[in-house]
Copies of this chain bind each other. A is one copy, B any other.
Amino acid sequence: MTTPAGVETDLGWALGTVMRTYLQAAHAVLDGVPGGPRGYQVLTAASRDEPGTQLALAQQLGVDRTVMTYLLDDLETERLIERRPDPADRRARRITLTEAGCTRLCDLERRLRAAEEHVLAPLDPAERDTLRGLLHRLATRTDDGTSPCQVADEISAMNAPPTRRR
């Protein structure tokens, strides 16, 4: 038979706890960004060479196109992105970073990297590399292309610490 289930084998709890720790650090970094973590993702997506349309960005982030409208409204208000008419299709808008948006994005990425280091602090350098490598292999092998913004509601309750049984 298998090992009896306990804390050591409770992947869901450990994964959730580490994820939560990371998210708390990331949330602190992304606190002032319009739209929060999603706003940051929009900035990242907008930083590519080929500016995408609103619809393309929405599909890439897995959010509704109406949500993308609100997100871009807030980002545009703070002059972090611009809506530019698509010369080939006057219905579509191409989303580009402003100079301020680019600066802000670089700063956010630097601080997010620091947040990662904070999460990994209990491990020594070799162990960090091992963990990054294993997670990366799992992520690339199991990523089924599902949109990233559709499972939030199920995540929270998975992560309570294990309790003793009767």
Contacts and interface: CB of A to CB of B under 8 A. Distances in A.
A46 B2 CA distance: 25
User: For the complex formed by this chain, how many copies does it contain in all?
Assistant: 2
Interface stretch (A75-83, A86-94, A111-119): A111-119
Nearest to A127: B134
Contacts of A152: 152-153, 155-156
Interface of A: 2, 5, 7-9, 11-24, 26-27, 30, 35-41, 44-45, 47-49, 60-62, 97, 102, 109, 112-113, 116, 119-123, 127, 130-139, 141-144, 146, 148-166
Contacts of A13: 139
Q: Is the interface of A mostly helix, strand, loop or mixed?
A: helix
Contact of A48 (B135, B155, B163): B163
A72 to B, nearest CB: 14
Contacts of A18: 15, 135, 138-139, 142
A158 B26 contact: yes
Nearest to A5: B113
Contacts of A151: 20, 23-24, 27, 155-156
A17 B157 contact: no
Contacts of A131: 131, 134-135, 138
A156 B38 contact: yes
A94 B2 CA distance: 34
